[in-house]
Amino acid sequence: MRYRWTKLGMAVMVTAFLAACGGSDGTDGLPGAPGTPADPAITDSLQAQIDALGEASASPESCAICHNGNAFSNGDSHQAAYDELFQDGVITVSGMAFTVTGATTAELKFQLKKAGANFDCTKSTGFVVGSYWASYDTATKTFPADVSMVTSKAYDSATNVCTFTKTGLTAAQVTAMAGDGVVTLYGTDEYTLEGSLRKGKFPFAGVFKIGTVDYSSAANVSGCENCHTVPFLKHTYIYGKTADQTGTPTEFYTCKGCHYDLRNGGHQDWQVLKDDPARYAQLSSVPLTDAEKTKYAYKAKLMNDVHMSHAMEFAYPQSMYNCVTCHAGKLDKALADSQFKAETCISCHSVEGIKAKMAAANYNHSVYIATDADLRATTCTTCHTGAIAFSKLHGGGYDPKIYTTTGVRYSDNFVITIDSAAVAANKVTIKFHATEVADVAGLAVTDIVPTLMVGLYGYDSKDFIVDAHGRDSANKRLLEFKLGDVNPRFTVVSAAGGAWEIVADLSMWADKITSGVIKRAEIAVLPELKNADGTVLGLNAPSKTFNLAANAFENYFTPIVKVAGCNTCHDQLATTFHSGIRGGNVTVCRMCHTVASGGAHLELQSRSIDSYVHAIHMFQPFDPGDIDFADPVAAMRFKHHVESTFPRFGIMDCQSCHNPGTYNVPDQSKSMPSVLSATDTVANGRSVGTYPSYVSGPAVRACGSCHRSEMLNADDGQGDGGGLAALMGHFKTFGYLIESSTGVWDAIVAKVMALF
């Protein structure tokens, strides 16, 4: 059923909401909030009682009444809107045939069908299509040249045959087209432009091989799919993998029409960004000189453009050492001696970057880096053989924080198990041990230094009312203890041979345990294991929920996000943004990222993991008050950051991180109120204004996080639709935003959670 909203219908709905939720004059809309006039729908006596409650008068959020998937958007509708994009297999390609038709002309014929119906390829509105021919050299396994195949288009509706005609070919091109090569076809229908991204609903592709084409990439399309769309769509609409005319799958053939191997690269600025950020910041007004173009010249083959963009332009969420992400099963090919040359090294390190690496090495590289020409002429394999061969560098293609040099994940090999817990007189005795699955030279379970954490859940919710990572008046962690440290609430009973027994004293919270505010504890172990270089290795941090009353473990809370969703981009959770002791468990992330604190580095966000992660993936910058916008490099980096895009080509792909059915407004009976941070003082004249720290509800915290980031990034203070000011007003009216100070969060938590 489709709803039609009239002005009268909207007015009735808004009036009803205002009657239920508060004022209609642009004030808080919170009964009893300072300065809020009494609503006529609220009796004088009830209003007096509400006023007397003061700051603890927060009422539950009413978000779910509207944001229920019908009248207004919710998480499910975000995902549904995203799912309308990039629909695989709706438009199909068949009947591809390529012919050199004259001394200067060639033709490509093909048929398109959309949802089984004939499709006109000359359609001009909301449709884009392209085609390239690329030559293939069987000796070098490369694609030396290309020609765009579209000079004119024709469509025969009777046969559903589309004809692309290319005219003006040279004699050499006509001769080459009779030899080995590929013709690629790609496009999308019903697209919209969002900045530089073409977001189409119905992408399609086809590949036609001519003669012998036996190209096999050293990379995998599945590696691209780790972070990007499935199926992978380069530039949002060009398939990385598709079948040729015989039905044989091909990988990256559709890319070769543009990224042929002898094409001159056009992004020298990527290397400048890495080598000389100050020079990069000048490029808009002082373009590259001829000398700089020569210095940073490169070929736009896939290796170069992919390596450079991920190592220099994008905020790539892994180490570039981790070659296995894209080259799984093909590392021998990717790291073959034939690849060990200046071009490969420059593609990740840049010209000055690799020269600096070579100058710092414990060998005499000076002769090879005297000039840029010397660098490019270097034959690395003259010296680099055996133990220092290309395949031995960079951990053999594996991130040394995550893998051994033979590709064994440390998190699979060193496993921590929480064995038991027992409580008596508010003291919990916890036993856990470590197991080494297979021997790794130089490492043993006895080298592990564990940190034990105990977080205390409040009000039968999924949130912690006692933050294990918090501190007491003596600046000691509340319920976090690293072996070897001193904490008055922890006693080590035994620690030997990779097994530990530790007692955690919860007596500080005996009143809350007795009252039932606290019924459960989350027990977690963060294992620290270092290699000989002092590198903290990526291990998984286990946790279990312990019911204090039942004196037993129980299955209690399942995170709404999946660790596999994190690891598709990060490979081993936390190794690139914390340390390797925090991997494999989102519940453990939540034990530090609690609702009781505002986001330490992010404006108008909670430290809670939902708010924090949403904001980070919206590319909200950290600590804008610390940025010197008068510094061209700092201003440039800020601009780059806020203009970045979640690699699924849109943040509304909730399922890339979330478990199914967990995209909507949080259940307020299972999620406590939270603290949002204040805005920074930013000396750049921005329009969003200043806001204090607030206590908010779970929907404002989690769902509102992306929207606040969007407004802050765009500096949309009072633009079209009202910007951030209108958004914050909406939160106040249909939820609560109460200015935070000492004791306010505790009071609001007690008031709201008592309602459920």
pLDDT per position as a tens digit, 409-467:
999 999 999 999 999 999 999 999 999 999 999 999 999 999 999 999 999 999 999 99
For residue 602, the model assigns a pLDDT of 97
Region 330-342: mean pLDDT is 94
Give yes or no for a cis peptide into 231 (omega within 30° of 0).
Answer: yes
* Digit-coded pLDDT (tens) for 348-384: 999 999 999 999 887 788 889 999 999 999 999 988 9
User: In a 3-state reduction of DSSP, which class is residue 308?
Assistant: helix
Task: Please state, in angstroms and rounded to a whole number, the distance separating the CA atoms of residues 202 and 92.
Answer: 10
Q: Output the DSSP codes for 127-182.
A: EEEEEEEEE-BTTTTB---EEE--SEEEEETTTTEEEEEE----HHHHHHHTSSEE
For residue 41, the model assigns a pLDDT of 36
* pLDDT band with cut points at 50, 70 and 90 for residue 195: confident
Region 249-257: mean pLDDT is 96
* pLDDT band with cut points at 50, 70 and 90 for residue 198: confident
Task: Please state, in angstroms and rounded to a whole number, the distance separating the CA atoms of residues 271 and 419.
Answer: 51
For residue 24, the model assigns a pLDDT of 28
Amino acid at 450: P
* pLDDT band with cut points at 50, 70 and 90 for residue 69: low
Pairing relationship of beta strands 127-135 and 106-114 according to DSSP bridges: unpaired
The DSSP output letter for 669 is T
Answer whether 629's CB lies under 8 Å from 635's CB.
yes
Q: Which of 438, 465, 445, 439 is nearest to 454 (CA)?
A: 465
* 547 pLDDT higher than 50: yes
Six-digit token string for 396? 């053999």
Region 720-745: mean pLDDT is 89
647 CB burial (10 A radius; 0-12, 13-18, 19+): buried
Task: Determine which of 156-165, 387-396, 580-589, 632-641 has the lowest per-residue pLDDT on average.
Answer: 387-396
Give the Cα-Cα-Cα angle 537, 543, 547 (nearest 5 degrees).
165
Task: Please state, in angstroms and rounded to a whole number, the distance separating the CA atoms of residues 270 and 90.
Answer: 36
Task: Please state, in angstroms and rounded to a whole number, the distance separating the CA atoms of residues 428 and 35.
Answer: 48
Region 531-555: mean pLDDT is 97
Count of Cβ atoms closer than 10 Å to residue 485 Cβ = 12
For residue 361, the model assigns a pLDDT of 83
For residue 70, the model assigns a pLDDT of 63
Region 516-528: mean pLDDT is 98
Region 621-644: mean pLDDT is 95
Region 27-39: mean pLDDT is 30
Cα torsion 256, 150, 115, 190: sign: positive
* pLDDT band with cut points at 50, 70 and 90 for residue 64: confident
* 109 pLDDT higher than 70: yes
Cα torsion 626, 630, 635, 636: sign: negative
Say which residue, 333 or 47, is predicted with more confidence.
333
* pLDDT band with cut points at 50, 70 and 90 for residue 4: very low
Query: Cα Rg for the chain, rounded, in angstroms?
Result: 30
The DSSP output letter for 414 is E
By residue count, the chain amounts to: 756
* pLDDT band with cut points at 50, 70 and 90 for residue 303: very high
Task: Determine which of 26-30, 174-178, 444-448, 523-527 has the lowest per-residue pLDDT on average.
Answer: 26-30
350 CB-side CA count, 13 A: 20
Task: Determine which of 250-259, 275-284, 591-600, 710-719 has the lowest per-residue pLDDT on average.
Answer: 710-719
Count of Cβ atoms closer than 10 Å to residue 469 Cβ = 17
Task: Determine which of 68-72, 493-497, 619-623 has the lowest per-residue pLDDT on average.
Answer: 68-72
The DSSP output letter for 432 is E
For residue 57, the model assigns a pLDDT of 61
- List Cβ neighbours of 213 (8 Å cut-off, separation of 6 or more): 136, 138, 180, 181, 182, 253
pLDDT over 90 for what percent of the chain?
81
Task: Please state, in angstroms and rounded to a whole number, the distance separating the CA atoms of residues 612 and 618.
Answer: 10
For residue 72, the model assigns a pLDDT of 62
Region 64-86: mean pLDDT is 83
Region 593-620: mean pLDDT is 96
* 71 pLDDT higher than 60: no
Region 286-300: mean pLDDT is 97
For residue 625, the model assigns a pLDDT of 95
For residue 721, the model assigns a pLDDT of 58
For residue 717, the model assigns a pLDDT of 76
The DSSP output letter for 455 is E
Answer whether 458's CB lies under 8 Å from 518's CB.
yes
Task: Please state, in angstroms and rounded to a whole number, the distance separating the CA atoms of residues 430 and 426.
Answer: 13
For residue 685, the model assigns a pLDDT of 80
Q: Which of 716, 706, 700 is nearest to 652 (CA)?
A: 706
Answer whether 29's CB lies under 8 Å from 38's CB.
no
For residue 25, the model assigns a pLDDT of 29
Six-digit token string for 695? 């206590």
User: In a 3-state reduction of DSSP, which class is residue 488?
Assistant: coil
Region 634-642: mean pLDDT is 95
Provide the β-strand partners of residue 422. 429
Task: Please state, in angstroms and rounded to a whole number, the distance separating the CA atoms of residues 752 and 703.
Answer: 19
Task: Determine which of 31-45, 95-109, 203-217, 509-523 has the lowest per-residue pLDDT on average.
Answer: 31-45
* 718 pLDDT higher than 90: no
Task: Determine which of 102-111, 267-276, 390-399, 523-532 has the lowest per-residue pLDDT on average.
Answer: 390-399
Task: Please state, in angstroms and rounded to a whole number, the distance separating the CA atoms of residues 131 and 129.
Answer: 7
